[in-house]
Structures are given as structure tokens and as C-alpha cells.
Amino acid sequence: MAEAKKPKSPKGTVAINVELCKGCGFCIAFCPSGVLEFSDKFNSKGYHPPHAANPEKCVGCGLCGMYCPDFAIFGTRNKEVA
Amino acid sequence: MSPTTKNPRNQYLRTDRMPHIWCPGCGLGTTINCFITAVEECGLPLDLISVVSGIGCTGRIAGYLKLDSFHTTHGRPIPFATGLKLANPKLKVVVFSGDGDLCAIGGNHFIHAARRNMDLTIICVNNFTYGMTGGQVTPTTPMEAVSSTTPYGNIEEPFNLPFLADCSGAVYVARWTTFHVRQAAKAMREAIQKNGFSFVEIISPCPTLYGRRNKLGDGLKMMQAFKDNSVVCNDADTRSVALDFRGKIACGKFVDREKTSFLDMYNTKMAERFGPFYEPYEGVK
Amino acid sequence: MKADPKGVLTGAHFLDGDHACCEGALAAGCRFAAGYPITPSTEVVERIAARFPSVGGIFIQMEDELASSIALQGAVWGGAKAMTVTSGPGFSLMMEHIGYAAMVETPCVFVDVQRSGPSTGLPTLPAQADMMQARWGSHGDYEVIALCPNSPQECFDLTIKAFNLAEVYRVPVMMMMDECVGHMTEKVVIPKASEIHVEPRRYTTAKPEDYLPFKAEKNSAPPMVRAGDGYRFHVTGLTHDERGYPVTNAEVQDRCVRRLVDKIRANARQIIMLEESDTSDADIVVVSYGITSRVAVKAIQQAREDGYKVGHLRLVTAWPFPEKRLRTLASHVKAFIMPELNLGQMYFEMQRCVEGRAATYLLPHAGGSVHDPELIYQKIAYAARHMRVKEGKEKEAAK
């Protein structure tokens, strides 16, 4: 269901449930690190969901999830790898 | 380190009812995120939190939160919450409703619950319009704004909700927009933790029915406007925080004071009157 | 379950109907009341305000009747037994919440001490003109229960009954008092707590994950939960499925509303309380309720002494209406007379059930006082005369 990007050693990860997305763009506009962009793909309702265009920049602040009015995206901080 | 696939917010949501009914770019879902954060941070047992909503787009919030939730009648969530709270004061009762529901049809209950300092948290999502019925004027619609029932522009002076709450006796009054997610969450937490009538106004975009008619753009454009036009002015005199059409949005915590809540006052009075025989009222047995 | 002795003022008292109603509520376990002052019901809440704090209850005077009628439902969902008290204009304001109580199945009691209307009418004088409003006042299809006490003693007894019925069927139950009954002072005997039956709230025993808040056995009300018990349930006035979730289609609407109606209609026999005298051999039956039933008794006694075969059917329960009993009576009774303090409300319900098999007479009164028993007597005599004329004609035709 959720599609997640797994970069090399970013501080955070963003997970997107594309089917819940209504394409408002809040997450893209307000991501402080510029991780997200609209995807070219459509979900089944015809919206363009976001995708992590720059996953390495994710700091896992979780703001995308705070903004998302459709509960379609959330960011998590990655565990420190020793 | 596998990616988390389940939204941690799901435990607070009725996921079997998703996707919700709200339009793309509507701010209501964002206010839910803020509320969930507030609930998480204040550490209350979820079983003891009840959410009461009225009617309208915001009124549907109760139905999406996986808490004891009541979708009541139009304008009446505050008196319903009053009864609920008095029957079981252990509950933290949060009224989550819209500007039309709380301040037009329910305006009388709003001022009276504040006056008697009923221990309730009121979260009013103000999108300046009646969304569910198609975008009519509300008591918070700014002058000049166009709505389906003010097609030539609104001629009525709107309510300044923080001032209304303040002068009615609220012990906590704050206003933020859906752009200010962290601040809004903090304000909701503080409001929940306050003993007495606490009020948080959240300015939220309704792109479909308010934004479109008033050429304010889509939800994102409205959010950008919130970002650009907001002025944080904590402790401001609530008389000075009225909103204009396309004007500055005063945000912040305006009131935070101590006052004995209704139930504490009740128990104090009865103990005084009945003496040592009086068993403090802590809910129906 | 027996009454909590804390709320029971055992003994013989000299009380008016309003005060007796308050005592009945206390005996029934009511510990939350919300109200707004309105003549002639105010004495009920005044006594509640004085009595509740000392028995572990709470009263709040709300800002209006809209608030009272929903605050009590909040209290019920918080675990309380609750009621509100009002009169005509306030009752009108409460209508939406009677519909809400019916829809979300809040067990609660609405007391309406009737006064003359419409609008402000005669605030200090009696009427029985809210009877149809009690039944049909809120929009949409639903059923309620309405009781009509005719004495302070019954204001006590039937208030307990009202609470018990509310718990069993999870409907709003109306106490249809009137100004006369409310302000009349008589002896009221309050029994020992151990002699008062109190219907406990029926809470579910299901686990939260298995619980469906609006799933009920056929023709019955579902078991309840209250806020704070960990069920995280949802309640909505929208058409809802068994989970309590809103569903917008005709099929769920049918299932939802039909059950609300059927749980009362199918149990009408258990719910209905009637008082009858001399109906088995009667040619004429006076059907009455509330204060009017006491006036009627005097006329009926006189008529019987004068040789008329008159019986009396008193509706203790006005809603659901005793359709079956009236149909049965109509098989041998030749005329029905209904005096009521309105210009025709329950009369038409009676007429519907009689189905033209007997003559029906309305004895209307616009309110402001009660009927003169003499008028009821005259109506009995009139009905008897017509009956004889009709019989004569029938005999004539048979020849």
C-alpha cells in the first residue's frame, strides 16, 4: 500500500499512501528540506500524489504528516546506525 | 531498518472510514493532525477523551476520530458536552466544530459555557463559511467577502472570536492557522490541560466554497496566504485581533488565566452549605 | 433492581404534582437534570435544584430549552439517568432533540407540564394540546412513549415508570402532565426504596473489538456503552449502520428507522397502561386521559346512576396509542366520547381505531380551565339518544 524511499543514509524517511492523496500539495510546499515533488503518476482517483524526489534530504521532521489533511503521508526519523 | 508503512496516526483514526469526505486542500484533516499531536503530548488515557461535534464539515471530525465521539445536532455540541462532562467529570471533553455551528446557531451556548467556566476545550475551525451547505455567509465571514447568500459582498461586521471568548470568560484563548501546525498543536495541548473553558480558533482554508468565490486560489494558495499574512502577537489585547478580508491574521496565545471551573465552584459552594456531610460531586454513580 | 434509598423520600407527603414528579425522578435513579424556567413546570426544577446536591446528583439551569434537551443526552451518554422539564413553548424548542434522542436511542425523560397555547398562550392555565406534538413534533419517522398522570401520586409513580420504560426501549419518554396536575396538591405516598422497581441501564458485555453499538435483537433496543469505558464508539444523528457510522442510502435508512419504530410498535402491548371501568357491558365509553379523566369520572358516575350504560377508558399511556383495545371495544360499544383540553387531537386517533363501527364524539375545550362535568354528562345523554334513534331506524328497516 505505502511506497517508501530508502536512501543511503538520510536522517529520515517519508512514507506515502498514494491512494489517500488528494493532491493538495501542502506537503510539497511546506517540506522544509525540499524532499517532495508531484509525481507524474495518477492514483486511482486521478490525483497526482507526491513522491520523494530528493529522499536523501529528508530529516524526518514529520511536518509533511502534520500538514497532510488526508493522512496520506508521514515522515519518520531513522534510527542512528552505529 | 525497514520503512514504516503504517501511519502512526492511524491508531487515533477510524481508518475504516477513510478516505474522508473533505475536499482537496481543505484544512480540516490538518487540524486533526494537530489535535492528535496535542493528545499524544498531554499523555491522557485515550479512553477518557471524548470528542463532541455539531453539524457541518467540521462537525464530521468526531466521526473520524477513534475516540468516544458524538456527532450531535446543529449548534448544540457545547450543551451536549456540558451534560457529558457533568455526568462524568473524569472525562476530558473536547468540542470540535466549525464557525457557523459554534458561533451562529450555537453562539448562545458558546458564551454561556464560557461564562459559567464549564471545563471544556473548544476547538473552532474557522473557514469563514458554511461548507457543507454550499458556502453561505457566517458570523465570521469578513466584510466584503462574497458568499452564496451575500453575492454582492458581506455587509455584516463579523465576530472577533478570541474577543468573544475572552469577554465571555474563557480561561484560555488562542488563535492559529492551519499553516501553524506545531503552534496549533501546542495550543490545543495547553487548552486540553487547562481546567475551565478553553478556546482555540484555527483559521482553515475552504478552497472549494470560500476561496474560489473570493478569488483566493486553491487550498495551497490560501495556506501560503496564511503564512504570509500571519502576525504572531502573543498576549495581544483580544479587541485588537479582529480579522479583515485578505488582511493580517493575528495569531498567538491571547488569554491564559486561572479561574475556578463550574464544577469546582459547585463543590465548594455545596460543601459550604451542607458542611462535612457533603460528598463532593465527582460524577454520577 | 431496587431504588437507591438515598433518593427515596419514603412516607406520606402533601405534595403538588410538580414536586412529586421530582421525587419520582429521584426514586427512579435520576441524578442529572437540565432545565430552563417556564410556567407551570418551574417547581419541578426548583425542587430538583434543592434536592439533587444532597443525593449525589447535579442540576444545571441551562441558557435555553435547546441546551437543556441536549445536555441531558450528553449526561446519559456519560452514564447518568437524566431528564428535563418544560412546558409548551420550551417543549416546542426541544423537538429537534427529541428526534435526536429517538435516532441515537438515548434513554431519557422529557416532562411537559402542558399549558394553553399556541405560542405563549395561557402560561398559568391548563391544556392538553401538546399531545400530537409529543408524538409527531420532530421531523422524520420515529416512535416515543408518552404517559399521562392525573394526580400528584401518579406524577410520582409514572415518573419512575417513565425512567424504566426509557431504559428498556431506549426512547425519549414524555411525561404529559398539565398545569392542573402539576399544581394540584394531594397526598402522595412514597414507598420504601426496597419496594420500588428501578430498571438498570443495560450495558453491553461484549469486548470493545466485538461491540456494535447499534446492533439489536429484533424489535428491541441495543445494549449501551458510556463514554470513558474504552469502547471508543461513535454516535451520530445521521442515518447510521450497526457500527454507528453514517451511511447515505435508502437500504440502511430503512433498516435504521424501521427498528426505531418497530421496537415500540411490536411491544405496544407491554408498554400500554390503561384503566377501565364498566366497559364490558357499556354502550357508551368515555375515553379520557390526564386531568380530564378525573372530571369525566364524576359525569360517568352520575350517568350510571341515571341508568346509562357508560364505561370509562382512561389512557395512562397516550403513546403508543391503545389501538387494539379500542378496536376490541368497538365490537360492542356503540358510542365513544372523548373530552380533551384541545380542539381535537387524541380524538382523531380514537376515531381512526374505531373505524366507523361506532359513533365517536369529541368534546373539545380550548384550555384555560377544565371541562364542566355537566357537559360530559350531556354528551353521554346525547349519544344515548342518538343510539336509540339509530336502533329504531334499523329495526324499522329490518321490517
Domain boundaries, chain A: 3-74
Nearest CA in chain B to A27: B220
Half-sphere exposure of B110 (CA within 13 A, CB side): 30
- Residues in C touching B109 (Cβ below 8 Å): 63, 66-67
Would an 8 Å CB–CB cutoff place B120 in contact with chain A? no
Domains of chain C by start residue, with CATH: 5-195 (3.40.50.970), 272-398 (3.40.50.920)
Report the pLDDT value the prediction gives residue B2, as an integer from 0 to 100.
38
Which CATH architecture fits B15-260?
A: 3-Layer(aba) Sandwich (3.40)
Instruction: State the average pLDDT over residues C317-344.
Output: 98
Instruction: State the average pLDDT over residues C137-143.
Output: 98
pTM: 0.96
- Which of the listed CATH numbers 3.30.70.3270, 3.40.1670.10, 3.40.30.10, 1.10.10.60 matches domain A3-74? 3.30.70.3270
Would an 8 Å CB–CB cutoff place B48 in contact with chain C? yes
Contacts with C268 (C-beta within 8 Å, 6 or more apart), sequence order: C320, C322, C323, C324
Report the pLDDT value the prediction gives residue A10, as an integer from 0 to 100.
81
- Residues in A touching B179 (Cβ below 8 Å): 30
Would an 8 Å CB–CB cutoff place A53 in contact with chain B? no
Determine the residue among C235, C247, C248 to mutate to test chain B binding: the one whose Cβ has the most chain B Cβ atoms within 10 Å: C235
Would an 8 Å CB–CB cutoff place B177 in contact with chain A? no
Touching pair A, C by Cβ (3+ pairs < 8 Å): no
Chains in touch with B (3+ beta-carbon pairs under 8 Å) read: A, C
Asked whether the beta carbons of residue A67 and residue B34 sit closer than 8 angstroms, the reply is no
Residue B3: Cβ-neighbour burial (10 angstroms; 0-12, 13-18, 19+): middle
pLDDT tens, N- to C-terminus, chain B (285 residues)? 334 468 999 999 999 999 999 999 999 999 999 999 999 999 999 999 999 999 999 999 999 999 999 999 999 999 999 999 999 999 999 999 999 999 999 999 999 999 999 999 999 999 999 999 999 999 999 999 999 999 999 999 999 999 999 999 999 999 999 999 999 999 999 999 999 999 999 999 999 999 999 999 999 999 999 999 999 999 999 999 999 999 999 999 999 999 999 999 999 999 999 998 899 999 998
Would an 8 Å CB–CB cutoff place C55 in contact with chain B? no
Question: How big is the CA angle at B23 (ends B6 and B177), to the nearest 5 degrees?
Answer: 80
Q: What digits encode the pLDDT tens for the residues C206-238? A: 999 999 999 999 999 999 999 999 999 999 999
Chains in touch with A (3+ beta-carbon pairs under 8 Å) read: B
Of C31, C64, C246, Cβ closest to residue B284: C31
Would an 8 Å CB–CB cutoff place B51 in contact with chain A? no
Asked whether the beta carbons of residue A71 and residue B18 sit closer than 8 angstroms, the reply is yes
With pLDDT > 70 as the criterion, what percentage of chain C qualifies? 100
Q: What digits encode the pLDDT tens for the residues C167-200? A: 999 999 999 999 999 999 999 999 999 999 999 9
- Residues in C touching B81 (Cβ below 8 Å): 74
What average pLDDT does chain C have?
97
On whether the CB atoms of residues B208 and B23 are closer than 8 A, the answer is yes
Q: Which amino acid is at B12?
A: Y
- Residues in B touching C31 (Cβ below 8 Å): 284-285
Which of left, alpha, beta for B43 (phi over 0: left; psi -120 to 50: alpha)?
left
Of B62, B72, B87, Cβ closest to residue C70: B72
Pairing of strands A73-77, A12-16: antiparallel
Report the pLDDT value the prediction gives residue A5, as an integer from 0 to 100.
52
Contacts with A53 (C-beta within 8 Å, 6 or more apart), sequence order: A35, A36, A37
Of C66, C78, C230, Cβ closest to residue B84: C78
φ, ψ for residue B23 (rounded to 5)?
-70, 160
Omega before C223 within 30 of 0, i.e. cis: no
Query: Quick one: cell of B31?
Result: 487540524
Report the pLDDT value the prediction gives residue C143, as an integer from 0 to 100.
98
On whether the CB atoms of residues B40 and B191 are closer than 8 A, the answer is no
Report the pLDDT value the prediction gives residue A2, as an integer from 0 to 100.
54
In whole angstroms, what is the distance from residue B33 CA to residue B181 CA? 8
Half-sphere exposure of C386 (CA within 13 A, CB side): 16
Q: For chain C, what's the residue count? A: 399
In whole angstroms, what is the distance from residue B111 CA to residue B78 CA? 10
Kindly give the parts of chain A with pLDDT less than 70: 1-8, 81-82
Candidates A2, A50, A7, A6; CA nearest to A30 is: A50
On whether the CB atoms of residues C172 and C166 are closer than 8 A, the answer is yes
Candidates B97, B10, B11, B23; CA nearest to B61 is: B97
Asked whether the beta carbons of residue A78 and residue B1 sit closer than 8 angstroms, the reply is yes
Report the pLDDT value the prediction gives residue A79, as an integer from 0 to 100.
83
Structure ipTM:
0.97
